[in-house]
Amino acid sequence: MNLKPKKGIYFGCVIAMMMAGCNGNTPHETPKETLTQAKEYSADWQSLSHHKAMPDWLYDAKFGIYFHWGPYTVPEKHSEWYPRNMYNVEDPAFESHKKNFGDQSQFGYHDFIPQFTAEKFDASTWAELIKLSGAQFGGPVAEHHDGFSMWDSKVTPWNAKDMGPKIDIVGELKDEITKRGLKFFTSFHHARQMQRNANEINTGIGGNYDSHFIYNEEWHTSSNDEKLRLLYGNMSEAEFDEFWFNKLTEVINNYSPDLIYFDSWLNLIPEQYRQKFAAYYLNYAKENGQDVGIIYKQHDLPLSLGINDIEKGGHMEIHYPAWMSDDTLSSGSWSYTDTLKIKPTSMVLHSLIDIVSKNGILLLNGSPRADGSIPQAQQNTLREMGAWLKLNGEAIYHTRPWLIHGGGPTGNSAGSHGGMSTENVYTAQDYRFTQSKDGKAVYITVLGKPKAGEKIKFRELAPHRYPLAGPVKKVIELQSGNEVVFEQRDNASYITSPNIPMNDLAVVFKVILE
């Protein structure tokens, strides 16, 4: 394995010849551009800033589902970072891998791919679960940091159609998701795939997070084999930048995603390639009549172009422009492991309500097993979310923030990736506000089930604090439609909780204005 990657510049026919050698009689070629009309956007930030970052449909949708699923789920241990940590001598995954699969020099990450057979995968089942959850958009992680593409690719031989499942996962999900009237989402995490630390002395100790695979001359992570090096990222920066870009344009051309999401480390891709991607995607969308969005983290793209995402976190107050939080159903790994603990539905739902009240959108992750099945506990949570949204979704979908996000005694803990945590435990003493787009209704969502007959105080609704936009016509409990007693006083407003069956997860009171 002790062959260092070539550092020369690879372009054009070199890449085509290389790919032909990787896949027998079917050469893997870079995709040809399909744009035929005059391009509206050029590859510079000024031109790209003319794009409306937040699509109207997404601002109304509020809630989407995606799935972390790939060869990294085969061992069912540790996390989706297994491909990296199996080579990190400081991580428990290193010894676990040696014990269960053999020495890293003999059993590399690529050896999991034949075991990633997805025999229970059914795109219609996944899509139906997304629909039943109440999500308005959904899709897969198209490629994680590990460099394995979940679509039918001609750019890389390391793809789900040619290897492992031998299924076009992205294509099948696109068909089933859009068939149900939902928007199609894809996420990309492959900016870290390039091996950027080959010139450093590295014995398998963690660190250098700008490369996913830890370089060691004894392992496949150092291979310059024409096929293996493409998975482990052993290529020049010039070659990798084209490789990165061509994967994106291939997915755009073949699957027309409505949203493209980037994980952290997009800043590792040269600015001109980020601009080139954005111009290509936006011009493609314009030609095809799509209203699309680009999601990013930290400061990897300008606010004028994309939608900023906070991983497992949110804002403390209402924040403009509209933003996104990506979170997962579990309290641990994003991918399936045999120790995965699923959050209670109340925690997930209350997080959605909190995020929407602050002008955000929730992207929620599920964790299928390697065989393609979605564990029942995750299905239960998603179905319970959907059941609540079916009855109370008017307070979520198509809403806008009110004057203040809400109130209550529960404080905010810090999120692990910035902002506030999405794992706060709220009670029926906490509540959140939203309003209808036309401003004629304000929704008060109590994060629990108030006791019948209880007089609930909303200090924020005092006339001298955050006055309503007009006189109150009536107030109803949204799920039942029953009118409730509403009192306005100088220091607060009060709702008397009705003696009727109410939802255990959260109760919505709709304040209808004249």
* CATH topology classification for 399-513: Immunoglobulin-like (2.60.40)
- Could you give the count of Cα atoms lying within 13 Å of 313 in the half-sphere of its Cβ? 16
Nearest to 141 by CA among 279, 263, 323: 263
Mean pLDDT over 296-311 rounds to: 96
Residue pair 163/34 in contact by the 8 Å Cβ criterion: no
Q: Is 420 helix (H, G, I), strand (E, B) or coil?
A: strand
Task: Give residue for tokens 């510049």.
Answer: 9
What's the residue count for the chain? 514
Count Cβ atoms below 10 Å from residue 507 Cβ, excluding itself.
Answer: 25
Q: Which pLDDT band, with edges at 50, 70 and 90, does 80 fall under?
A: very high
The partner residues of 364 in beta bridges, in order of sequence, read 65, 327
Residue 23 confidence (pLDDT) above 50: no
Mean pLDDT over 259-283 rounds to: 97
What are the domain boundaries of the chain?
12-127+135-307, 399-513
* CATH topology classification for 12-127+135-307: TIM Barrel (3.20.20)
Residue 37: the pLDDT is: 52
Residue 8: the pLDDT is: 35
Residue 201: the pLDDT is: 65
Mean pLDDT over 407-431 rounds to: 85
Q: Is 253 helix (H, G, I), strand (E, B) or coil?
A: helix
Residue 18 confidence (pLDDT) above 60: no
Mean pLDDT over 166-178 rounds to: 98
| Paired tokens of 293 | 């969005």
Residue 422: the pLDDT is: 83
Instruction: Please report, as a single letter, which amino acid is at residue 400.
Output: R
- Indicate the Cα dihedral angle 235, 239, 242, 245, nearest 10°: 10
Encode 457-482 in three state secondary structure. EEHHHCCCCCCCCCCEEEEEECCCCC
Rounded-to-integer distance, Cα 43 and Cα 28, Å: 26
Average pLDDT, the chain: 92
Residue pair 248/278 in contact by the 8 Å Cβ criterion: no
Q: Which pLDDT band, with edges at 50, 70 and 90, does 204 fall under?
A: confident
Mean pLDDT over 118-134 rounds to: 98
Nearest to 137 by CA among 184, 86, 172: 184
Residue 458: the pLDDT is: 97
Residue 451 confidence (pLDDT) above 70: yes
Residue 4 confidence (pLDDT) above 50: no
Q: What is the DSSP code (8-state) at residue 73?
A: G
Q: Which pLDDT band, with edges at 50, 70 and 90, does 38 fall under?
A: low
Residue 420: the pLDDT is: 75
**b/e string for 143-179 if b means 16 or more Cβ within 10 A?**
bbbbbbbbbbbbbbbbbbbbbbbebbbbbbbbebbbe
Residue 313 CA, chain-centre distance (Å), reads 13
**Above pLDDT 90, what percent of the chain?**
86
Task: Give residue for tokens 């008397």.
Answer: 496
Residue 5: the pLDDT is: 38
Residue pair 193/146 in contact by the 8 Å Cβ criterion: yes
Chain segment 484-496, per-residue pLDDT in tens: 999 999 999 999 9
The partner residues of 456 in beta bridges, in order of sequence, read 495
Pairing of strands 293-297, 259-262: parallel
**Above pLDDT 70, what percent of the chain?**
92
Residue pair 450/456 in contact by the 8 Å Cβ criterion: yes
Residue 135 confidence (pLDDT) above 70: yes
Residue 9 confidence (pLDDT) above 50: no
Angle between helices 123-132 and 169-179 (to 10 degrees): 40
Lowest mean pLDDT: which of 14-23, 122-131, 229-238?
Answer: 14-23
| Paired tokens of 16 | 């085509």
Distant-in-sequence, close-in-space partners of 173: CB < 8 Å, separation ≥ 6:
123, 126, 127, 138, 139, 140, 184
Mean pLDDT over 16-29 rounds to: 35
Rounded-to-integer distance, Cα 415 and Cα 423, Å: 9
